[in-house]
């Protein structure tokens, strides 16, 4: 590809509302300006829109598809159509499909990445088996969530004395997707969750997300505080190893996890729609992001 004029940035159908409540900056605005500086028109589109001619774009970037998990089959079918039409997606459509379900954590764990403990239940599993397994694991307090989810959607943290509530949510989740169960990680509310941001395989900045008092969720929509931080020793190297374990090298990504005994325990590898905390990034990171997208197109 010798020239690039148009890139589609995939956003949620209710992007304006989500951006106003869950983000500190509207990434459509800052990215559009960065691409414009490079002579490229960035257009916000949703994957739900059947009227879009995707072949009119040089690339499609699902960076803000914050609602894909509400219709995952439709999202995957859309990716398959783009591939069939020869439309380039960044990150690679195969990587996006791998990353859209948290079962990717099994692959990372098998590859030797230090993944925070979890148990996976396939869709259609008996909800009672979830409670039984939590007891068997000895997890007095646990967290359950859909294996296809985002933003703490349908996520519950509860002690085992709330077994009926756990079972009810598990039944709802398992009717839609797989389920991920984990012990409650005290480190997150106590010390926070770290995010390391990467562009073209290189770290750009690090943030620490601390849940509000009495909560465990690290998203700012739930009241968490976010601040740019100098990373502790070894954090970036561990995050880099986690990123390198992905089956295809991502152009952009975010590694989320907590520290235990000084070691990073991976919670998420966000390669589809990570909020990038550009407001906490050094000058030039937004431009680096845009240039990395275009560089990937030229090399692809």
Q: Is the pLDDT confidence value at 290 over 90? A: yes
Q: Is the pLDDT confidence value at 128 over 70? A: yes
Residues 72-82 have pLDDT tens digits of 999 999 999 99
* Backbone torsions φ then ψ of 184, nearest 5 degrees: -75, 125
pLDDT at 160: 92
207 and 269 in a single domain? The answer is: yes
pLDDT at 24: 83
Residue 207, domain member (yes or no): yes
Residues 115-126 have pLDDT tens digits of 999 999 999 999
pLDDT at 3: 61
Residues 3-56 have pLDDT tens digits of 668 999 999 998 988 887 766 899 999 999 999 999 999 999 999 999 999 999
Residue ending a domain, among 157, 183, 209, is 183
Residue 20, domain member (yes or no): yes
Greater model confidence, 211 or 271: 271
218 and 177 in a single domain? The answer is: no
* Strand locations in 131-278 (E): 141-146, 156-159, 179-183, 193-199, 202-210, 225-228, 252-260, 263-270
Q: Is the pLDDT confidence value at 100 over 80? A: yes
Average pLDDT, the chain: 94
216 and 266 in a single domain? The answer is: yes
pLDDT at 2: 45
Residue ending a domain, among 183, 208, 238, is 183
pLDDT at 1: 42
pLDDT at 64: 97
What pTM was computed for the model?
0.94
Using a pLDDT cut of 70, give the percent of the chain over it. Answer: 98
Report the C-alpha gap between 131 and 243 in whole angstroms: 32
78 and 108 in a single domain? The answer is: no
Q: Alpha helices of the chain — where are they, by DSSP H?
A: 15-22, 27-37, 72-85, 93-99, 104-110, 127-137, 163-174, 187-191, 235-244, 285-299
Greater model confidence, 119 or 299: 119
């Amino acid at each position: 590809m010798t020239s690039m004029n148009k890139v589609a940035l995939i956003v949620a159908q209710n992007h304006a509302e989500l951006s106003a409540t869950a983000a500190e900056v509207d990434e459509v605005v800052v990215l559009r300006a960065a691409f414009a500086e490079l002579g490229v028109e960035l257009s916000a589109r949703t994957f739900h829109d059947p009227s879009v001619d995707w072949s009119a774009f040089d690339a499609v970037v699902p960076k803000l598809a914050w609602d894909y998990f509400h219709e995952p089959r439709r999202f995957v079918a859309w990716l398959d159509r783009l591939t069939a039409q020869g439309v380039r997606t960044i990150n690679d459509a195969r990587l996006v499909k791998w990353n859209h379900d948290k079962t990717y954590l099994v692959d990372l764990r098998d590859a030797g990445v230090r993944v925070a403990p979890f148990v996976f239940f396939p869709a259609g599993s008996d909800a009672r088996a979830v409670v039984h397994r939590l007891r068997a694991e000895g997890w007095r307090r646990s967290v359950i969530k859909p294996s296809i989810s985002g933003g703490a959607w349908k996520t519950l943290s509860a002690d085992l004395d709330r077994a009926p509530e756990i079972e009810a949510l598990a039944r709802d989740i398992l009717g839609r997707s797989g389920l991920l169960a984990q012990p409650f990680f005290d480190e997150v509310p106590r010390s926070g969750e770290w995010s390391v941001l990467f562009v073209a395989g290189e770290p750009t900045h690090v943030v620490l997300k601390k849940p509000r008092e009495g909560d465990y969720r690290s998203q700012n929509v739930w009241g968490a505080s976010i601040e740019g931080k100098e990373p502790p020793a070894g954090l970036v190297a561990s995050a880099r190893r986690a990123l390198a374990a992905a089956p295809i090298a991502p152009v952009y990504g975010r590694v989320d996890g907590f520290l235990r005994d000084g070691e990073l325990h991976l919670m998420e590898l966000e390669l589809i729609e990570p909020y990038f905390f550009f407001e906490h990034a050094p000058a030039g990171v937004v431009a680096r992001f845009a240039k990395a997208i275009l560089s990937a197109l030229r090399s692809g």
